Amino acid sequence: MRRQLVLAFAFWSLGLCSALAADISGTWKIAGPITPSCTFTQTGNSLSGACRGPGAEGPLSGSIDGQAVKWVFTRTNIGTGRAIAPVVFSGTLNGQSLSGTMSQNGGVNPVPFTALFQPSATPIRLISAPAPQPAPTPIAAAQNRGCAPFAPNAASAGTIQACTAIIDAGQAGNTELATAHASRAFAYLGIDNLDAAERDAAAALTLDPGLALAHLSRGQVYLRNNAVESAVAEFDAAIKIDPNNGIAYNDRGAVMARTGRNEEAISDLTQAIRLTPNARALYANRSTMLQRVGKFAEAVPDTDHLKALAPDQPVSWNSACWARAIWGQELETALGDCDKAVTLAPANASFLDSRCLVKYRMEKYDEAVADCSAALKIMPRMAAALYVRGLALMKSGHRSDGSSDVAAARRIGTDVEEIYARYGVKP
């Protein structure tokens, strides 16, 4: 869910207008704990635009007063479509550079950053521009103060601190307090403190039983405790409260996948994609489920979406390569995708293994052996690479060596032969 933080900046004080502002329009590259690029559009003293990377994007809003520059990057995780804590920047302009402090947790623990103007950079354009937002709701108010759910594990400590500040202040209404407890529950799950997460999820539901986020938090607690049906009941409740909550469908779909209810998982993931069409993880999850039930051709378009949403991520290209490799069709496209993945991450054994299968299916057996051998140098007990290398060796006349590889693969991965038989790859 995308939320835009609206900040009002006062440009008049004691009857004096602000200092004449320089024009910083254009794209700047940030260096610090996070490293996005931000494209500013300056109108008078006001700043608007967008930031992206790595893994997050969103609008920016701010101001410039003389050499003082302030802006807020309102972030959405590109992979999941979930809102994460906004980042507040405050810096001083010095020609084509900026330096100052930034905070990811509502002003808590600011850290240094620098930024350089990039005159030839392509302007940042959001994958899907957020719609104009009304004044912050109680839920958005909590999130805008750094108390946001679904923060990455590295940010859990800051989220806990920001949420605790809201809870301890005792000034928020029930919905904002419930949001703070639910968000803190997710943060505790991020550091595997299940007892604390369970207490917060229960507190959130007591404060506001009609809050979908509260049900999601308790559903995740149940899931961590392997109470699968209780988790499903909580996700069902979240969907009933908020039928447009893509996260709830995704979470319920994950439970369905875990329990072997594959078609139900695909249905839930399809609904989640409809509601949050730019969430990369949803396409990856649905592609995996379609492959699980043997719908290889149907899985391919989802992996192409991954390439479009995150072309800088090698896993996107590998996913597209693998989908066509196991389908056994469009192998030239698959090879190009695998080449891209390996170029971006040459030491990734899985990417080399994917390309090995593509080359095997293209009957380029010597090249397949080379790729599988490279994968095995990185992961010597990789059953898939051993198995396909064995098949490639046998096809190229090295039957003894190939049989040895296939036997070793069967010992390491007892189901490797069955898995590849589903792809139509057999000795």
Output the DSSP codes for 253-282.
HHHHHHTT-HHHHHHHHHHHHHHSTT-HHH
Distance of alpha carbon 44 from alpha carbon 65, whole angstroms: 10
What is the share, in percent, of the chain residues with pLDDT greater than 70?
Answer: 87
Quickly state the pLDDT bin for 129 (edges 50, 70, 90): very low
pLDDT band at 163 (very low <50, low <70, confident <90, very high): confident
Distances (CA, A) of 129 to 3, 4, 57, 104, 375: 11, 11, 10, 22, 40
Q: How confident is the model at residue 81 (pLDDT cuts 50, 70, 90)?
A: confident
pLDDT in tens, 179-202: 899 989 998 988 899 999 999 999
User: Are the C-beta atoms of residues 223 and 204 closer than 8 Å to each other?
Assistant: no
Per-residue pLDDT for 5 more than 50?
A: no
Residue 219 confidence (pLDDT): 94
| Distance from C-alpha of 384 to C-alpha of 152, rounded to nearest angstrom | 31
Q: What is the pLDDT confidence band of residue 42, given thresholds at 50, 70 and 90? A: confident
- What domains does the chain contain, in order, with CATH numbers? 12-117 (2.40.128.30), 294-427 (1.25.40.10)
The C-alpha angle 325, 327, 333, rounded to 5 degrees, equals 50
Whether the predicted pLDDT of 151 surpasses 60: no
Report the distance separating Cα 134 and Cα 151, nearest Å.
23
Give the pLDDT confidence score for residue 236 in this predicted structure: 96
Q: Mean pLDDT over residues 97-125, rounded?
A: 81
- Mean pLDDT value of segment 352-371: 97
Q: What is the pLDDT of residue 138?
A: 56
